[in-house]
């Protein structure tokens, strides 16, 4: 019979009042998170970023393959290269590649092809998804539910960034192939998200948006 390495696990448990209080507090805390596009250049200790990435990497994944690589870019030269290539693509997006409806949907965000945050933020976390693993002997081992897994890990990442009192932007320059080249990533990895991280700029402004109510997002059966 196969022996499995199952170990004891005791989840934290709380009485119902504490659960309610903790849940409300966590909701209120998470509901304060906003995407920002203006960053302070104030430095952030690298150790904080590393712990944030460990949190992201603690997220569940298909067959526990952890099919992600988080590239942390702080080198100003590499940030500049990324900005130049992202702006080239975004220029095309805003000048013909994005259909009218998309541009209309983005209008209230005030975005355009200029991406100064790619140099201003102290860190760019470039998340890659690993379609398969390459074993030391060169053979391929497939990964499962890669997009779902990396999406969940990015959710953990954004929550950890917010928990640290830092700000982030989930940026998706499109297409993102230039990130593979600039960061010299192997053939089994694909760029997934580009996340500038740092302190929000002083007096930063964000769009005045409303979130959907529980009734709009939740159906009870």
Residues that bind ligand IYR in the complex, under the rule CB under 6 A: 90, 93, 106, 109, 111, 171-174
173 vs 196, beta carbon nearer ligand IYR: 173
33 vs 65, beta carbon nearer ligand IYR: 33
Q: How far is the CB of 145 from ligand IYR (least distance, A)?
A: 23
Decide: 139 and 99 in contact? Cβ < 8 Å.
no
Which residue's Cβ has the minimum distance to ligand IYR? Answer: 111
Q: How far is the CB of 110 from ligand IYR (least distance, A)?
A: 10
Q: How far is the CB of 43 from ligand IYR (least distance, A)?
A: 25
67 vs 196, beta carbon nearer ligand IYR: 196
Q: How far apart are CA 186 and CA 184, in angstroms?
A: 7
The sheet carrying 167-168 orders its strands as: 68-73, 123-130, 189-198, 167-168
Q: How far is the CB of 111 from ligand IYR (least distance, A)?
A: 4
CA angle, residues 156, 162, 164, in degrees to nearest 5: 105
Q: How far is the CB of 198 from ligand IYR (least distance, A)?
A: 17
* CA neighbor of 89 nearest in space, from 170, 173, 171, 172: 173
Q: How far is the CB of 36 from ligand IYR (least distance, A)?
A: 13
CA angle, residues 167, 106, 179, in degrees to nearest 5: 60
Q: How far is the CB of 82 from ligand IYR (least distance, A)?
A: 13
55 vs 111, beta carbon nearer ligand IYR: 111
Q: Is the dihedral of CA 163, 169, 170, 175 positive or negative?
A: negative
56 vs 194, beta carbon nearer ligand IYR: 194
Residue owning tokens 């526990």: 64
Decide: 50 and 142 in contact? Cβ < 8 Å.
no
* CA neighbor of 77 nearest in space, from 159, 153, 182, 149: 182
Q: How far apart are CA 122 and CA 45, in angstroms?
A: 10
Sequence-separated contacts (24+) of 15-22 with Cβ below 8 Å: none
60 vs 207, beta carbon nearer ligand IYR: 207
130 vs 171, beta carbon nearer ligand IYR: 171
């Amino acid at each position: 019979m196969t022996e499995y390495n199952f170990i004891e696990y005791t989840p934290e448990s709380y009485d119902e009042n504490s659960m309610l209080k903790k849940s409300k507090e966590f909701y209120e805390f998470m509901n304060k998170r906003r995407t920002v596009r203006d960053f302070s250049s104030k430095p952030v200790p690298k150790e904080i970023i590393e712990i944030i990435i460990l949190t992201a990497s603690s997220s569940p994944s298909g067959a526990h393959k952890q099919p992600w690589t988080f590239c942390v870019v702080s080198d100003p030269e590499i940030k500049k290269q990324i900005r130049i290539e992202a702006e080239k693509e975004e220029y095309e997006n805003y000048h013909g590649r994005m259909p009218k409806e998309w541009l209309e949907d983005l209008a209230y965000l005030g975005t355009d092809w200029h991406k100064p945050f790619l140099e201003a933020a102290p860190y760019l976390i470039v998340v890659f998804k690993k379609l398969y693993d390459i074993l030391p002997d060169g053979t391929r081992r497939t990964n499962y539910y890669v997009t779902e897994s990396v999406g969940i890990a990015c959710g953990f990442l954004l929550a950890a960034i917010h928990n640290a009192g830092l700000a982030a932007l989930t940026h998706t320059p499109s297409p993102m192939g230039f990130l593979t080249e600039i960061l010299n990533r192997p053939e089994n990895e694909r760029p997934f998200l580009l996340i500038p991280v740092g302190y929000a700029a002083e007096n930063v402004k964000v769009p005045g948006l409303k979130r959907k109510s529980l009734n709009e997002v939740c159906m009870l059966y």
